[in-house]
Structure 1
Amino acid sequence: MSDLQRKWAKAKLKSAMADNDLDEADEDGQSGDQLPDLPEIIDDDSSSASSASSTGTVIPSPSQRLFARPEGVPRGRSLEPIPWTTYFERELFLKPPPRKADDAAPPPEDITYHAYLTSPVGKGPLFVMHHGAGSSGLSFAVLSSEIRKRLPSAGILALDARGHGSTTTTTSSTSKDTAPDLSLTTLSTDLSTAITATRRQMSWPDLPPVVLVGHSLGGAVVTELARRGDLGSSLLGYAVLDVVEGSAMDALQSMQTYLSTRPAGFASVREGIEWHVRSRTIRNAVSARTSVPGLLVDTTAATGQEEDHGGGVGEEEGRRKGKPWVWRTDLAATQPFWEGWFVGLSRKFLEARGGKMLLLAGTDRLDTELTIGQMQGKYALQVFPEAGHFIHEDLPEKTAIALVDFYRRNDRSALVLPPKVADMLAQGRKV
């Protein structure tokens, strides 16, 4: 404000105060003599009060939603389940390749892999998703939609691991009380087999460029598959969501305590969805409405196929309390495999071939080996502190942006190589 403006304002103010007819109770400030509020002038180059470190001074644009919080329990909106057909084009029931006649190995178990697929378009990539323990392929449903918004040519393959979702296994020695083999070697072999079976069933001439994405246990599975090299040159890279060796091993110590705090069952699927959102296990209600139905099974209408899943925790207790919807996967029964999932994960993550990305909900999850690797630029790191453990469900939009950018950075088709010297000489061009 200039000196002239200040003098004029002071004069007007004195005049207004001397005026006995001034209505001091005018809350709307409509008096003709009252000065309008002057806008506060903020220097763009000022202190940290106007920087992004202070969210109170930053107004994010509606499109970017820089400081948007994960969606909680919706008010006045439905918590009814959302069908998988909203996000995927088809579901697949995949069988392993037939055995060779001269194969002397013992008969394998009869397994049918269940997966959700949206096919890639043209030369688009295939994002292959593996969920965490106790979850299912539907955990990636909303994320798949967000990826396709930003990369319409992308395909999504989300697998149900054995003992989870609608993947079924039967052997002559398997009983209802026997936990499935969830060793890391078996799960990574399952993922490799399912990818090959998908290519065969879809009649793809070649495997599309693959980006492996794994959450929690799934992160260990995709890292193991990348280390083994089963996918060869088709693998562009792999992304691990919110799991590192050190913090995972520490968390296993309290896993049984956590499982004991979960409800044994629910009266309905809707009640299960509401519990996940209210407990902030999943902080996005839309994603919970899609993924939670795949975690539960109705024991009052159980069929032989449902029994193959091994039942859920507290099945009898759930029935007694009138809550027949119980957990589809008995996580407590998988305890013998817990340590094997994560031992050596950091080393394998850094050593396996292909691009690498780690998405975490907090930097405190980094162990020493990964911290050193990150400082050396061996992998890309993104942190979403506003998310919980289920990063891809809490923040599907931000996760999709990170994954699409990761693919584009590793897309070999975008590379333009210089011409070979021999070819230039053959064309009579100077070198």
Structure 2
Amino acid sequence: MKNKLPPRMPRSSGIAKLAPFGAARRKDYTPVSWRQYFQKYEDVETEGGTFRVYLSPEPDHPSRPRIVTLHGGGYSALSWSLFTEEITNMIHCQVVSMDIRGHGETKVKDPDDLNIDTLVRDVEQVILKLYNEEPPPLILLGHSMGGAIAVRAAHSPVLDNYVQGIAVIDVVEGTAMEALASMQSFLRGRPTHFKSIEHAIEWCVRSGQVRNVDSAKVSMPSQILNCQTGLLATNEVESYSSDGMVHTPVATRHAPHADRIAEESDDNDEDNDESDATDAKHAKTDENDAIHSKNDAHTKNDVQSKNDTADVASNTENDTNNAKNGDGNAENDANIPKNDESIPKNDDSNTKKDEGIPKNDERITENDINNSKIDDSITDDAHFARPNAVGDGAAMKYKWRIDLSRTEKHWAGWFGGLSNAFLHTRAPRLLLLASVDGLDRELTVGQMQGKFQMQVLTRCGHAVHEDTPGEVARVVASFALRHRLTSATENGEHMNLVSAPGC
């Protein structure tokens, strides 16, 4: 029987160190350029100022609809990046995503004027200027504050004849007005500054503002400013892209549930760490005379875990003393022989960065967070809500593009009368929600009367279109096809889009 079994694999010398659970996996928070999702951008000059508009490729025919996306308060046009990739793969259309006044790269004379009438007028002027006073068929798609703008713009005499459909994401008058009372408290709980772009993206994902790391990597840089230059962090991502330093994001095409955090293996670092630990323990096991190798054994004890140190130290009294003295003694690094390559150098690139789960008496340093080395087992999200606690000024490098707390006087105007305006829009209506409990009384009655299509999406937060861009794109594509506003692409024909059920 033994002869029939495959030969046994040779065992490596020494005792291999088992990596802690999840230690070989870490999340990638490297920012990504908007160019991976949009073809170009245009800075549209209007009476109010200059508005940044991102555009996907032109459709195959001028009569195809343009989906004008309007982001929520504090977000930007790039929050629609992954949605744009998905929707253009399903139906023939063009996505027109603009930075609203006071957000993103838009520059206006009075950025604090966020009155609903001013915001609607901005949308009107941008669309007319973009299409030389003769817009093609339009589908207005808005999230939160952007949804309120889309509903009001659909009633505008300037755009009424061109709006062929309206879709609103996770905004209902009743629930929105109730939430305003706690909005200031929520804003005070956010960090005011970030030490790096990666740190901001990491906070965005860990805090739950956006649950899809791929979306956060392209949208979060457009929401923060460099405190020194006053420029949007998106401009720095462009320089990283030109040097080839930006990681390619996990493809979301054909993946409507792309709400998982992308992780990458730190194989090289883990292998080096295992090799160092194995060599150290092997050397300690083979050496019977600890007195002749006191300095060497003392240094190697730093690499061993506490259990290994206790086992080896039981052999001799001198080893025990060396292990005790060696724990956390960084000054003795100067005694390390330079020709001993098996002893790890005490530099920033190799110092315990791969030992996954920290010991109970150790805390994660600010430098670890800055380099995005946080282990999967660490779930203390509160740690990321205070990046400005560092006293050396390093945490003051980036701040929010807009101070939402100063916009409170406009909140009631955004959402007041929204449900009634939505129900009386001439164009076909679509409402997407993250929870069925979000409906108010007026919309509940309207939905029972069949006045609009409603879809409830799961596994997502408030930023529905960022958390599940594929599902949102599928619903919007089905909505457009059902009302014969466009036709499906070759890929969309195989997705049974029209048969997607409503709620």
TM-score, normalization: structure 1?
Answer: 0.68
Structure 2 contact 73–144 (Cα < 8 Å) conserved:
yes
Residues 77 and 343 of structure 1: CA distance in aligned 2, closer, same or farther (over 3 Å): same
**Contact (CA 8 Å) 1:213, 1:238: kept in 2 or not?**
yes
Alignment equivalent of 2:441, drawn from 368, 387, 410: 368
Pairing partner for 2:160 from 232, 241, 249: 232
Name the CA distance, whole Å, in 2 between partners of 1:193 and 1:88. 22
Displacement of 1:318:
8.9
Cα deviation, residue 317, structure 1: 8.6
1:385 is aligned with what amino acid?
Answer: T
Asked if the contact 1:264/1:318 (under 8 Å) is kept, the reply is: no
In the alignment, is the contact (CA less than 8 A) between 2:77 and 2:98 conserved in 1?
Answer: yes
The 5-angstrom pairing of residues 112-191 of structure 1 reads 112-118=50-56, 119-122=58-61, 123-151=63-91, 153-170=92-109, 180-191=112-123
- Structure with greater contact order relative to length (CA < 8 Å, sep ≥ 6): 2
The answer to whether the aligner puts 1:385 opposite 2:335 as a matched pair is no
Q: Deviations over 1:284-325 (max 9, x none)?
A: 00000010000001102226999xxxxxxx999999742211
For 2:411, the equivalent position in structure 1 comes to: 338
Offset, 1:349: 0.3
Match of 2:394 in 1: 322
Residue in structure 2 matched with residue 293 of structure 1 by the alignment = 221
Query: Does 2:43 align with 1:93?
Result: yes
Residue ranges of structure 1 left out of the alignment (5+ in a row): 1-73, 97-107, 307-313, 415-431
Q: What secondary structure, in the 3-state scheme, does the structure 2 residue paired with 1:357 have?
A: strand
Asked whether 1:199 is paired with 2:131, we answer yes
The whole-number CA distance in structure 2 between the counterparts of 1:224 and 1:196 is 16
Deviations 1:86-108 (A, max 9, x none): 00011110012xxxxxxxxxxx6
Tell me how far 1:199 sits from its aligned partner.
1.1
Secondary structure at 1:387 match in 2? coil
Separation (CA, whole Å) in 2 of partners of 1:236 and 1:242: 20
Give runs of aligned pairs for residues 399-418 of structure 1, distance below 5 A: 399-411=472-484
What letter is aligned with 1:181?
D
Post-superposition offset of 1:230: 2.3
1:309 is aligned to: none
TM-score under structure 2 length normalisation: 0.59
Identity of aligned residues (%): 37
Going from structure 1 to structure 2, the CA distance change for 1:267 and 1:362 (only over 3 Å counts) comes to same
- What letter matches 2:116 in structure 1? L
Task: Tell me, yes or no, if the aligned pair for 2:53 and 2:77 is still in contact at 8 Å.
Answer: yes
Deviations 1:243-286 (A, max 9, x none): 10011001110011001110111110100000011111101000
Q: 1 CA distance for matches of 2:193 and 2:404?
A: 14
1:121 Cα offset (Å) = 2.6
Secondary structure of the structure 1 residue equivalent to 2:161: helix
Deviation at 1:412, TM superposition (A): 5.1
Specify the alignment match of 1:348 in structure 2. Answer: 421
Q: Counterpart in 1 of 2:199?
A: 271
> Is the contact between residue 225 and residue 401 of structure 2 (CA under 8 Å) also seen in structure 1?
yes
Cα distance between partner residues in 2 of 1:162 and 1:400: 25
Would the aligned equivalents of 2:136 and 2:162 in 1 still touch at CA under 8 Å? yes
Unaligned runs of 5+ in 2: 1-23, 235-385, 488-503
The count of residues paired between Structure 1 and Structure 2 equals: 310
**Please, which of 138, 141, 144 is the counterpart of residue 210 of structure 1?**
138
Amino acid at match of 1:117: L
